[in-house]
Amino acid sequence: MVKMINIVKNIKKETWILLAIILVGIFLRTYNFHDGLRFNADQARDATLVGEVINGETGWPLLGPKAGGTDFRLGPIFYEFQIIAGKIFGNYPDKLAYPDLFFSLLSIPLLFFFLKKYFSEKLALALTALFAVSFYAIKYAHFAWNPNSTPFWTMLFLYALLQLAESQGKHRIFWSVMAGVAVGVGVQLHTFLLVVMPLLTIAYFVYLRIEVPKKNNLWKSFMIVFVVSIFLNIPQLYNEAKTGGDNVKALFSGVTTKKEDENLLLKAGRVGECFMTATTFTISSVGESDQCNFLPVKTAGHIVDILLGGLLFLGGLGLGIWRLVKETSEDRKRFLGLILSYAGLMAFFMTPVAYELSLRYFLIITFLPFIFLGLWLEFLIQKFKNNEVVITLTIMIILIALNLWTVRDNFIALNNYTESSNMDGFDNVYLGELAMMANYITAQNNLSQDVLLDGNSQYLFKASKGLIYLTEKQGVHLQPLNKKNSVAGNIVFTLISTESKDNKIKTLEKNSNVLDFKSFGRFGLIKSLRN
């Protein structure tokens, strides 16, 4: 007992602060996780596929989800994580989202150690505290989607590359393996990472070879990274061999068929516009919540994007380049060079699809705004040495407060979805409300084996797959209403907004016998019998 007390006493104050930050991050990322889990059509599709594997109805997949706008499919690691989670915790949507939640939680301490490669421990703690409460980071921890864990894997990738350059012997082998794992996983989660990670790895090892010609065994480290990353991608490589490279052909076909009339300069400007918006929103939650087009200026949020985003992104980029030129420490210079190279490659490959970008694309560089903010804080601290604590605390308190306010509003809105009929801002459906609707459908007496689902097309697009998935798990075969199955005597559940209840019931009564109506907050279900 005395020994344990002594151990606790010897723990540094900074360690306790980091632990407190992590606990806050855990609370914000797990609060109301089941009911507030986003469960749109894509999540229902993935959960159905994963469930078939867990139930032994099909084998483990060789490929993962489709990359947006193409027929190319990423590697299967996203599904593999979900299958493992489902086998351990249970085959239900919130359990399948545990891997994304887990990596989101791990990204908090990882960011701290990553930032410590360049910044002071105190500044790294302050920036990590901001990341822990960042609405942007919290938002993407609350549902299962293949890019959602990329903040962790991209940081691990860059951190491992830095560590292996500074390590020797067994430590270098360990970090080479970690870099290989990060590459092997990352290339299966996002199309940009499929290109950027291998390119940056090769360029980094070439740089190390030039920087320190006498450094031994660099080729061994490179081979470890290569072999480990290839090993993790065996399923899709097997699929390519089996199909004659059909999936790779789909990738190149998708790239060549994307046509945009705007010239390169306008596309580059659009990418910069998105970088500024993403930078602002990531650290403050202020500005446009998803879209990154603020020119021409139309709202106050656009003005914030220009002023704050321009200051942070363009100013941070300038500070990073200036520091890179002036820096004397090889380790710190290597950090800046790697970060700027990564950001530059991302911007380069984003340019061809500039007008398809939204803030979700910037998950793969979530750490970048915090580095730019750190460079600004470091600059201000050096300029106003006697007021460094006041400057840092003032800026961090303002940004943390802005994020916590947005998080609070979001949690309140989520809690009200099952109580309020307001459909303003409708974009997502959530597991809590879908589960209530599915329970209502399956609890009805005298249901035939096949039950039909109809309703507002916008709501069905988001919610029908989720409802079908959840009712199927309870033994009711729900299927969309169409001309083939629209016959007299069928039970039909019509999904509507609660606000449109009266008008919709009047319309249905012309050719159906309306049996019941149940409100679930935003949504309502009308039960009717076809005449």
Give the residue among 499, 487, 466 at the shortest CA–CA distance from 531: 487
Whether 1 is covered by a domain: the verdict is no
Give the type of residue at 115: L
Whether 499 is covered by a domain: the verdict is yes
Strands of 142-203, DSSP E? none
Does the pTM surpass 0.95? The reply is no
Sign of the dihedral through C-alpha 278, 279, 280, 282 = positive
Q: What is the pLDDT of residue 216?
A: 65
Q: What is the pLDDT of residue 20?
A: 95
CA trace torsion 191, 194, 196, 201 (10° rounding): 160
The 3-state secondary structure of 299-368 reads CHHHHHHHHHHHHHHHHHHHHHHHHHHHCCCHHHHHHHHHHHHHHHHHHHHHHHHHHHCCHHHHHHHCCH
- Please count the other Cβ atoms lying within 10 Å of the Cβ belonging to residue 45: 14
Whether 460 is covered by a domain: the verdict is yes
Whether 314 is covered by a domain: the verdict is no
Helix 246-257 and helix 234-243, axial crossing angle in degrees, nearest 10? 90
Whether 523 is covered by a domain: the verdict is yes
Domain hosting 471: range is 431-530
Q: Which two tokens stand for residue 195?
A: 């290109």
Q: Which two tokens stand for residue 255?
A: 């790239």
> Could you give the CA distance from residue 176 to residue 228 in angstroms, rounded to a whole number?
9
> Could you give the CA distance from residue 281 to residue 273 in angstroms, rounded to a whole number?
12
Q: What is the pLDDT of residue 43?
A: 93
523 forms beta bridges with: 497
Contact criterion met (CB below 8 Å) for 222 and 229: no
Whether 10 is covered by a domain: the verdict is no
Q: What is the pLDDT of residue 297?
A: 62
Whether 508 is covered by a domain: the verdict is yes
> Could you give the CA distance from residue 242 to residue 263 in angstroms, rounded to a whole number?
40
Whether 205 is covered by a domain: the verdict is no
Token pair 């089996």 is found at 242
pLDDT tens digits for range 480-517? 888 777 766 778 898 988 888 888 888 888 888 888 88
- Please count the other Cβ atoms lying within 10 Å of the Cβ belonging to residue 259: 5
Counting the structural domains of the chain, the total is 1
DSSP 89-145: H-SSHHHHTHHHHHHHHHHHHHHHHHHTTTS-HHHHHHHHHHHHH-HHHHHTTSS--
- Please count the other Cβ atoms lying within 10 Å of the Cβ belonging to residue 402: 17
| 148 to 113, 153, 445, 465: CA distances (angstroms) | 21, 10, 40, 21
Which residue positions in the chain have pLDDT lower than 50? 259
